[in-house]
């Protein structure tokens, strides 16, 4: 069962992907910490990390809530779970519970949470409404659900335009949809949350516009490199196409005046109604 779960992660669960997710978390960490603070996550909070991956956000949440709080992290990849458990053990974080479990399977008995955190999970599951129901069930009345999910993935472009990158973005979106996901899932999340008994309190788009010298450039560019190999493994592309994307991005990075516009993310904060 575990081996199947590793294979059907559209982006993989290998060491390179764990490292890329670490870079991604470092880019987004300042924005995420501020979002959590405004949403009320603090010392003593009970938080559900929904689709925790290798546990980078789990560690931050555990340090914020402290020993008087509680973090439940749910992740179905055995590779990611092993990484998260080792990281928590190394820091002595005994108030973290990591569950190896498929969010599309039978619901776990996690209830009474002050907050839930979900980042780039709804984009990959075949049934976002089921995911939202899991979140709603876990929250206490007045608890908050926080999402970062893609709203308009095609905003990922270069200026001046780079057709090979645009071809890559289109192929990524197609591969996610072929695996049952939806890259622009944030378009449907507000209505799903309202239907599940939550009131949407905040909707804010997040987009970066950065030159190649900016640290944030490394986030999408590392995704390109890792995902090119993954698309090859999935048999969706050939090596000539892969090299054309690599060459296009490399040339763009050395062209004066080039900037990258990142995929648009929607920050959602919703409160469970009594």
CATH number of the domain that residue 217 is part of: 3.40.50.150
What is the domain count for the chain? 1
Q: What is the mean pLDDT of residues 250-271?
A: 97
Distance CA 226, CA 230 (A): 6
Determine the structural domain holding residue 90 and report its residue range: 2-272
Distances (CA, A) of 261 to 39, 58, 66, 254: 27, 28, 36, 16
Query: Given this model, what pLDDT does residue 233 score?
Result: 87
Q: pTM for the complete prediction? A: 0.92
Q: How many CB atoms lie within 10 A of CB 55?
A: 29
Q: β-strands 259-261, 157-159: how paired? A: antiparallel
- pLDDT tens for residues 50-59? 999 999 999 9
The pLDDT > 90 percentage for the chain reads: 89
In terms of phi and psi (left: phi > 0; alpha: psi -120 to 50; beta: otherwise), the region of 223 is alpha
């Amino acid at each position: 069962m575990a081996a199947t779960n590793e294979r059907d992660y559209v982006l993989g669960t290998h060491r390179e992907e764990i490292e890329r997710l670490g870079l991604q978390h470092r880019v987004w960490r300042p924005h995420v910490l501020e979002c959590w603070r405004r949403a009320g996550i603090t010392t003593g909070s009970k938080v559900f990390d929904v689709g925790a991956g290798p546990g980078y956000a789990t560690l931050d949440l555990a340090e914020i809530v402290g020993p008087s709080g509680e973090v439940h992290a749910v992740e179905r990849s055995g590779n990611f779970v092993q990484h998260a458990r080792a990281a928590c053990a190394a820091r002595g974080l005994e108030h973290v519970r990591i569950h190896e479990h498929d969010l599309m399977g039978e619901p776990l008995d996690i209830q009474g949470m002050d907050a839930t955190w979900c980042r780039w999970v709804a984009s990959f599951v075949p049934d976002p409404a089921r995911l939202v129901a899991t979140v709603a069930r876990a929250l206490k009345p007045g608890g908050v659900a926080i999402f970062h999910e893609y709203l308009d993935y095609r905003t990922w472009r270069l200026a001046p335009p780079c057709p090979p990158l645009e071809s890559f973005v289109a192929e990524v979106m197609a591969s996610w949809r072929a695996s049952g996901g939806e890259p622009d899932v944030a378009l449907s999340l507000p209505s799903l949350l309202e239907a599940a008994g939550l009131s949407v309190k905040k909707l804010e788009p997040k987009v970066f516009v950065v030159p190649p010298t900016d640290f944030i450039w490394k986030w999408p560019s590392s995704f390109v490199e890792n995902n090119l190999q993954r698309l090859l493994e999935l048999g969706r592309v050939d090596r000539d196409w892969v090299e054309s994307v690599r060459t296009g991005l490399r040339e763009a990075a050395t062209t004066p005046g080039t900037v990258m516009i990142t995929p648009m993310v929607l920050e959602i904060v919703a409160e469970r109604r009594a």
